[in-house]
Structure formats: structure tokens, C-alpha cells
């Protein structure tokens, strides 16, 4: 193994985009931030110094953090924030993991601009399980949104939609003042390219397509999949996909585009498309860029088609066939009663309430000391271990009418966590619900990848659910079908405190989250590690 060192300086940087000059928070003055490269088995040591005026942490999305839970990064879950002027060094090993990951800030909505790719190559001499590509390109997109969080959360209402999407920091030619602010890939005709796609956006799921070209998915969430060829893909925030694209079309300039997938009814959104160029060498640069064909914004079938195509490459023997514990989690939006009617702006949600979100009728409130530190030190005041294994209100998942139950208006607030014994084979049923609207929620689990053994529309029914225990994909973020369910399985063999939450930052702030505490193993190797000396204090 090689040890690789990186230096991250979080700072404010002035950028000119879309006719405006803005200060944004970046790492090392780059937007997107620096790419971190490693090889499977490598040790990464990344010193993060916070020179910005905001609290910061960095999360290594998709890295399982085997026995290194202190370096996972979600604020108030595994660490207190790195305050302005402070630094913290993250140290972890890429144990049996390779592929496309990304890192992002995990405090307030800072990840809007503080993110970058983490690319982990296979061990030397181990080839990809697909033809070696001529070149690799990273594509990550985000919403060019400034810090809205405080206003939105304080108002109790809903944020305005993003005013642009960006591809590798570039909005593309569809907006004001952006004709030349376009990302471009130059291609050699006949060659095959590997594109590493990352949805780094805050609050929107996106379709991606390239005009006239097919995409062959070979990896999802940094795990290999059986090759699946499609015209377009959909990624929720937090998801990554590797796709192969063959430059087999007539020499021209084509467009690669991202556009929104909006599954919620009555959602506020702008139907905007951001474009980058996919340009063959020899093409006249001014030649017409053929438009990419994206599905309609509410095309649930297009999403299902991609999901149906995701199968693990070699997962068979590792999928837990038996389970020891089931967690049934309802996920959804709700409106909580407004508790402080003055000042008025606190009650701008529907019915003069406060917009909220919950799991099992509980809106997660982040504590003031990290759950991991409290758990490790035995503090009792910062969280409770009583997260319910099923919704608090009666939920008849066999007979319940689709999308109608449970009634989770006025969910309760709490820092309630679920404690899991070491080694438990866990199944989690994620059931989309909500009194406000149903919606495809990208649910992300820290500390593990999980097998997506089933999903469907309507309410989960154990009698009719057809589970795939043979070749399910192994993922870390699952877009639970709108008004539907997903079943995931994993073995709880990594002790620590692991956040599970909706990767829409808005919903996370509204409480669509909880923390799983996986207890110590018995032997030396499975023991909860001790905290590092420079762990930030609250
Ligand atoms: Cu990519 Cu908890 O986050």
C-alpha cells in the first residue's frame, strides 16, 4: 500500500458566472475541488484547514470507512465541525474498494460548492472487468446555488429552485453570459471512453444523455455492474455511475446534457438543461451541436428502466440470504405544527405550518456534540437509543392503500438513534410516504454499501415482494421509487455511528435522517477505534 497525502484549504473564492461575480466557498480555490486519486488498498491522509468564515467538515461519500468511523465526516454525527481557523486530518484506507467516489462538505449546505471527485483505481495488475477505455473523463454537476439554508429553514417554507446546473463547474451555453462557459470533451473517432458521472447537486435528481450515443453502465456507486446499455441514465444526488461511450458516430459536435427528474407533484422547479460538448476531432467547432434527448421531467418509467438494468457483477455469495433484524422506515415530507407563530416567517409552510421531513414520524435533530463522541464517552444527554424499528403510527403495509399511510403530520422532533448489535444481518425496508407529496428520495447510508434486493411501486408487501438475492447491485445511495419502496440488506460488521439520510440537503435539514449505532465487535479486529487527537471540539 501507498500512503497519499493531500492538503485541502477551505476558503472563499471569487467566481464569475452567469453575469455575476460571487464569493463561493471552495477547496484550494478550485470549483469543483481537487480530484483525489488513489489505488485500492491505499491509505489517504488529507489535512483539511478551514480558512473560510463557515464551519466545515468533509465526507468521503461511498468510502466504507472500515474501522475508521471518526473520519467519516458528517457534522454532529461523527465529528464536531472544523471551526474557522482550525484544521483536522482525515486518515483512512481504501479497503477492498475502487471506483468513482466523491467527497463533499457535510455541514449545512456547504457542499453546494465544496465537493470534488475521489477516483480509486484497481490494484496494479488488476484490470477493469470491461475493455480498457482510451481515456477517462469525470463529469460532475451541481446546482450553482448560494447559501440559502438559513433563510429557508428559518422561514419554514420551500427554497426557490436552482437558477442553473453546472457540468464540471460550467453552466453551458443555455444561460445568460455563458456562451463560452462550456465544458468539452475532445474525442478520437472510433475510441471508447469511460465517463465517471457524479451527481453532486444539492436538491435535484438529474437525467443525463449524449446526443446519438449509447451509454453502457459498468459501475454504480463504485461497484461493478453487469454491462447495461441505455440511451440515458438518472442519478440522484450522491449517486455515481461509470459509463462507457464509444465514439462511433459521424464526425460532429454532439451535446451531453443534464436535466431535472422531478417526481414530486406540485414541486417548484425550473425546467433547465445544462449542456456540455462531446466533440470529435475534426469537427468544425461552430457546427450545429445535435441536442441530447432527455426524458420528460416526470418520466418515472425511464428511471425504472435504468434501475431494472442495474445488476451486480459478482455479488451472489455475499448477499445475506437470512436476516436477523428488519427496520421498516417510512420516509417522507410532512408539515409540522408551527410552534413559534411569531416572528411570522417561521410559519410559511403549507397550512401555516413548518415544512419538515421524517423517518418513522421522527424529524431528526442534530445534537450539539457528535453522536459518535457521546456514544464513545458514554454521555447520555445528546441522543436517545430509542429510534423505533417501525413507524410510530399504525401502518398496515399489507392492506394500506398506496401512498396514503401513515399519517405523519406533526412528526415528532428528536435525536433518536437505532442501536444494532455487531454482526447483525440487517434488512431495511424504505417506504416512501408523506402527507405533503410522495417523491423519489435518494437515501444514503454511511459506513456500508448495501444490496438493493428489491423495489417496487405502492406499499411494500412481504407476500408479493420479489427479492433478488442472486445479482442485486451493491450501492450506497438508493432512489426509492416515488410512492414506492426499496429493500436493502447488509451485514452490520463495521462498528461506529452511521448516518442514514435523504441526500437532498433540503430534506436532510428538515429531518429526513437518523443514525445507526453499530456496536463493538468482540475481538480485537472489530473494536470501535479511539478518537484521533486532533478531533474538533464542540
Ligand atoms: Cu454524500 Cu451523508 O452524504
- Parallel, antiparallel or unpaired: strands 417-420 and 425-434: unpaired
Greater confidence (219 vs 291) lies with 219
Residue 209 Cα to ligand 1 midpoint, Å, equals: 25
Tens digits of per-residue pLDDT, 256-266? 998 889 998 77
Percent of the residues in the chain that have a pLDDT greater than 90, as a whole number: 63
Asked if residue 387 lies in contact with residue 514, where contact means CB atoms within 8 angstroms, the answer is: yes
Tens digits of per-residue pLDDT, 147-160? 344 455 555 566 66
- At 110, give phi and psi (nearest 5°): -60, -25
Atom number, ligand 1, closest to the C-alpha of residue 104? 1
Q: Would you kindly state where each structural domain of the chain is located, as residue ranges?
A: 1-127, 130-310, 316-526
- Work out the pLDDT band at 60, boundaries 50, 70, 90: very high
Tens digits of per-residue pLDDT, 265-312? 777 777 788 889 999 999 987 777 788 999 999 999 999 999 999 999
- Work out the pLDDT band at 3, boundaries 50, 70, 90: very high
pLDDT at 410: 60
Atom number, ligand 1, closest to the C-alpha of residue 508? 2
pLDDT at 155: 58
Residue 60 Cα to ligand 1 midpoint, Å, equals: 8
The rounded distance, in Å, linking the Cα atoms of 258 and 171 is: 10
Atom number, ligand 1, closest to the C-alpha of residue 446? 2
| Stretch 324-344: mean pLDDT | 74
The rounded distance, in Å, linking the Cα atoms of 37 and 514 is: 31
| Stretch 86-106: mean pLDDT | 96
Residue 444 Cα to ligand 1 midpoint, Å, equals: 6
| Stretch 67-95: mean pLDDT | 98
Asked if residue 144 lies in contact with residue 17, where contact means CB atoms within 8 angstroms, the answer is: yes
Name the average pLDDT for the chain.
Answer: 87
Q: For residue 136, what are the β-bridge partners?
A: 194
- Whether 130-310 shares its CATH topology with 316-526 is answered yes
Atom number, ligand 1, closest to the C-alpha of residue 501? 2
Query: What class, spelled out in words, does domain 316-526 have in CATH?
Result: mainly beta
Residue 504 Cα to ligand 1 midpoint, Å, equals: 9
3-state SS string over 45-78?
Answer: EEEEEECCCCCECEEEECCCCCCCHHHCCCECCC
DSSP 3-state of 161? coil
Percent of the residues in the chain that have a pLDDT greater than 70, as a whole number: 87
End-to-end CA distance of the chain: 34
CA 304-305-308 angle, 5° bins? 80
Q: Which CATH number fits domain 130-310: 3.30.70.100, 2.40.50.140, 2.60.40.420, 3.40.50.720?
A: 2.60.40.420
Any residues with Cβ below 6 Å from ligand 1, and which? Answer: 59, 61, 74, 104, 106, 238, 444, 446, 499, 501, 503
> Is the pLDDT confidence value at 137 over 70?
yes
**126 alpha carbon, distance to own chain's centre:** 28
Greater confidence (259 vs 453) lies with 453
Comparing 119-123, 400-404, 454-458, the range with the smallest average pLDDT is 400-404
Tens digits of per-residue pLDDT, 13-51? 988 777 778 888 999 999 889 999 999 999 999 999 999
Query: Global pTM?
Result: 0.93
What does the block give as the cell for 169? 463547474
Residue 374 Cα to ligand 1 midpoint, Å, equals: 21
pLDDT at 400: 43
Tens digits of per-residue pLDDT, 376-406? 999 988 999 999 988 765 444 444 433 333 4
> Is the pLDDT confidence value at 112 over 70?
yes
Topology annotation, domain 1-127: Immunoglobulin-like (2.60.40)
Residue 503 Cα to ligand 1 midpoint, Å, equals: 6
Closest residue CA from atom 3 of ligand 1:
61
Amino acid at each position: 500500500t501507498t500512503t497519499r497525502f493531500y492538503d485541502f484549504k477551505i476558503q472563499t473564492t471569487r467566481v464569475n458566472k452567469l453575469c455575476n461575480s460571487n464569493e463561493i466557498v471552495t477547496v484550494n480555490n478550485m470549483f469543483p475541488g481537487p480530484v483525489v486519486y488513489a489505488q485500492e488498498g491505499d491509505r489517504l491522509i488529507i489535512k483539511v484547514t478551514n480558512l473560510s468564515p463557515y464551519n466545515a467538515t468533509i465526507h468521503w461519500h461511498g468510502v466504507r470507512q472500515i474501522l475508521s468511523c471518526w473520519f467519516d465526516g458528517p457534522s454532529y454525527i461523527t465529528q464536531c465541525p472544523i471551526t474557522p481557523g482550525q484544521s483536522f486530518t482525515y486518515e483512512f484506507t481504501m479497503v477492498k474498494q475502487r471506483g468513482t467516489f466523491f467527497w463533499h462538505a457535510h455541514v449545512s449546505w456547504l457542499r453546494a460548492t465544496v465537493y470534488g471527485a475521489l477516483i480509486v483505481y484497481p490494484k496494479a495488475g488488476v484490470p477493469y472487468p470491461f475493455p480498457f477505455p482510451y481515456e477517462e473523463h469525470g463529469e460532475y454537476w451541481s446546482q450553482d446555488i448560494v447559501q440559502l439554508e438559513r433563510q429557508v429553514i428559518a422561514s419554514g417554507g420551500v427554497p426557490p429552485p436552482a437558477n442553473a446546473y453546472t457540468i464540471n463547474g460550467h453552466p453551458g451555453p443555455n444561460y445568460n453570459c455563458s456562451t463560452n462557459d462550456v465544458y468539452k470533451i475532445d474525442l478520437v473517432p472510433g475510441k471508447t471512453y469511460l465517463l465517471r458521472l457524479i451527481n453532486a447537486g444539492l436538491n435535484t435528481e438529474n437525467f443525463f444523455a449524449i446526443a446519438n450515443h449509447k451509454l453502457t453502465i459498468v459501475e454504480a456507486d463504485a461497484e461493478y455492474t453487469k454491462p447495461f446499455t441505455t440511451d440515458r441514465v438518472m442519478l440522484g444526488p450522491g449517486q455515481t455511475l461509470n459509463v462507457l461511450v464509444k465514439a462511433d458516430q459521424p464526425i460532429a459536435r454532439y451535446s451531453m446534457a443534464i436535466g431535472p427528474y422531478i417526481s414530486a407533484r406540485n414541486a417548484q422547479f425550473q425546467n433547465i438543461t445544462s449542456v456540455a460538448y462531446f466533440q470529435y476531432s475534426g469537427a468544425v467547432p461552430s457546427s450545429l451541436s445535435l441536442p441530447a434527448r432527455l426524458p420528460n421531467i416526470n418520466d418515472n418509467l425511464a428511471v425504472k428502466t435504468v434501475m431494472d438494468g442495474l445488476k451486480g457483477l459478482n455479488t451472489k455469495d455475499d448477499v445475506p440470504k437470512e436476516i436477523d433484524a428488519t427496520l421498516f422506515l417510512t420516509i417522507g415530507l410532512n408539515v409540522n405544527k408551527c410552534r413559534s407563530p411569531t416572528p411570522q416567517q417561521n410559519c410559511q409552510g403549507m397550512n401555516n405550518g413548518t415544512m419538515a421531513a421524517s423517518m418513522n414520524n421522527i424529524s431528526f435533530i442534530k445534537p450539539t456534540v457528535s453522536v459518535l463522541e457521546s456514544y464513545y464517552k458514554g454521555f447520555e444527554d445528546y441522543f436517545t437509543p430509542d429510534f423505533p424499528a417501525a413507524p410510530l403510527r399504525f401502518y398496515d403495509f399489507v392492506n394500506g392503500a398506496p401512498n396514503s399511510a401513515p399519517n405523519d403530520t406533526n412528526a415528532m422532533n428528536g435525536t433518536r438513534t437505532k442501536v444494532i448489535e455487531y454482526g447483525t444481518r440487517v434488512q431495511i425496508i424504505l417506504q416512501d410516504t408523506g402527507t405533503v407529496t410522495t417523491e423519489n428520495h435518494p437515501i444514503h447510508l454511511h459506513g456500508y454499501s448495501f444490496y438493493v434486493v428489491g423495489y417496487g411501486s405502492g406499499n411494500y408487501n412481504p407476500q408479493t415482494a420479489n427479492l433478488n438475492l442472486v445479482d442485486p447491485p451493491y450501492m450506497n445511495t438508493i432512489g426509492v421509487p416515488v410512492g414506492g419502496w426499496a429493500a436493502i440488506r447488509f451485514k452490520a460488521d463495521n462498528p461506529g455511528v452511521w448516518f442514514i439520510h435523504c441526500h437532498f440537503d433540503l430534506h436532510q435539514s428538515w429531518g429526513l435522517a437518523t443514525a445507526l449505532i453499530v456496536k463493538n465487535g468482540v475481538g480485537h479486529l472489530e473494536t470501535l477505534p479511539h478518537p484521533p487527537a486532533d478531533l474538533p471540539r464542540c
